[in-house]
């Protein structure tokens, strides 16, 4: 399973039972947490997210509605006897902010906490099945989005053809990764002669807080799903611009230009008590849009 569960979909101040930004990206039993607004640990309890399965946390930027819940989560992991290493990726100052609070409480965590500074765009984490990269968005302070890309599946071996060309069984695993085979007789068996490409991996990007900025397109084009903020409805385009945020139509235009398959919208301003208009306006531009609703799981196909 590759899916996103929304824990908080509101901006700035909690309102109308909506919480500040946080979401969990689940991939085959591992939970990656993206942003961690105040109360995220309580939302995890509410929505039965297994905290023990979280090994990585990504913080987009240091506005409080995106990370004020992090210190509480780190602390609770300690009290709950979490053992697994915890890796946090975020702005350079995050390490100092967390460490001073742990120090003043004389907290000794029972697990290894690694706080990694994000200093520019690039690869953050690579596992055998997934790559997680960050890219700059356009916000009032430095801010990064995160892209989760499932690696292309292994190449499919045309077994009859491979045997015919005298590739030994022991080399089949290498064929899956794209390797050519050098026969003892000097003949070169090219990989593409005996395999077919694997399926393309699925992909998701969290575009964090940002004003409308087409430089994001190079990072999100063609993805299966993106989350893009829509702090305001489209009649507040000027305020959005001034505050480095986006509107419904801007997010939907970004999804359309990027040619993604599906758009999630969130980070709603506390001035709105209902969200129907957000869905309506975005869908007029990009029909396959959904509201990021708290407690809801969105699967990436």
CB of 41 to a second copy, least distance (A): 6
User: Which is nearer to a second copy, 80 or 188 (by Cβ)?
Assistant: 80
User: Which is nearer to a second copy, 39 or 266 (by Cβ)?
Assistant: 39
Q: Give backbone dihedrals phi and psi of 85, rounded to 5 degrees, phi first.
A: -60, 145
Query: How many binding residues for a second copy (CB under 8 A)?
Result: 34
Residues 115-174 that bind a second copy (CB under 8 A): 140-141
Of 56, 63, 87, 211, the one binding a second copy (CB under 8 A) is 63
Stretch (H or E) spanning 31: strand 30-36
User: Which is nearer to a second copy, 91 or 266 (by Cβ)?
Assistant: 91
Q: Which residues pair with residue 27 across a beta bridge?
A: 2, 30
Of 91, 133, 210, 285, the one binding a second copy (CB under 8 A) is 91
CB of 266 to a second copy, least distance (A): 18
CB of 16 to a second copy, least distance (A): 9
Residues in contact with a second copy, shown as a per-residue x/- string from 190 to 229 under the rule CB under 8 A: ----------------------------------------
CB of 102 to a second copy, least distance (A): 9
Is residue 96 involved in binding a second copy (CB under 8 A)? yes
User: Which is nearer to a second copy, 5 or 41 (by Cβ)?
Assistant: 41
Of 1, 104, 169, 196, the one binding a second copy (CB under 8 A) is 104
User: Which is nearer to a second copy, 67 or 278 (by Cβ)?
Assistant: 67
Is residue 64 involved in binding a second copy (CB under 8 A)? yes
Q: Give backbone dihedrals phi and psi of 19, rounded to 5 degrees, phi first.
A: -115, 165
Q: How far apart are CA 137 and CA 299, in angstroms?
A: 24
Using CA atoms, how far residue 168 sits from 65, 176, 177, 185, 268, in Å, is 57, 13, 15, 14, 58
Of 7, 24, 36, 39, the one binding a second copy (CB under 8 A) is 39
User: Which is nearer to a second copy, 68 or 172 (by Cβ)?
Assistant: 68
CB of 76 to a second copy, least distance (A): 5
Which residues here bind a second copy, judged by CB under 8 A? 12-15, 19, 38-39, 41-42, 45, 62-65, 68-69, 71-72, 75-76, 79-80, 91, 93, 96-97, 100-101, 104-107, 140-141
């Amino acid at each position: 399973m590759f899916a996103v569960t929304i824990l908080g979909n509101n901006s700035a101040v909690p309102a109308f039972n909506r919480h500040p930004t946080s979401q969990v990206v689940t991939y085959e039993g591992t939970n990656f947490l993206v942003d961690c607004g105040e109360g995220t640990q309580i939302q995890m309890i509410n929505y039965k997210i297994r905290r023990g399965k979280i090994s990585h946390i990504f913080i987009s930027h240091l506005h409080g509605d995106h990370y004020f819940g992090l210190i509480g989560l780190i602390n609770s992991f300690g009290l709950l006897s979490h053992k697994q290493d915890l890796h946090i990726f975020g702005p350079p100052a995050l390490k100092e902010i967390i460490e001073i609070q742990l120090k003043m409480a004389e907290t000794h965590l029972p697990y290894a906490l690694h706080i990694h500074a994000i200093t520019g765009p690039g690869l953050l984490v690579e596992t055998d099945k997934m790559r997680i990269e960050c890219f700059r968005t356009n916000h009032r302070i430095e801010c990064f989005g995160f892209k989760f890309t499932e690696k292309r599946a292994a190449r499919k071996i045309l077994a009859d053809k491979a045997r015919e060309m005298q590739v030994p069984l022991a080399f089949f695993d290498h064929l899956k990764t794209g390797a050519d085979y050098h026969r003892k007789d000097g003949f070169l068996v090219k990989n593409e002669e005996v395999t077919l490409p694997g399926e393309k991996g699925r992909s998701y990007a969290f575009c964090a807080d940002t004003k409308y900025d087409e430089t994001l397109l190079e990072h999100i084009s063609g993805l299966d799903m993106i989350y893009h903020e829509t702090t305001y409805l489209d009649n507040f385009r000027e305020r959005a611009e001034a505050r480095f945020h986006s509107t419904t139509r801007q997010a939907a235009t970004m999804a359309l230009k990027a040619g993604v398959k599906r758009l999630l919208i969130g980070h709603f301003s506390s001035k709105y008590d209902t969200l129907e208009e957000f869905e309506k306006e975005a869908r007029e531009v990009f029909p396959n849009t959904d509201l990021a609703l708290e407690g809801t799981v969105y699967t990436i196909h």
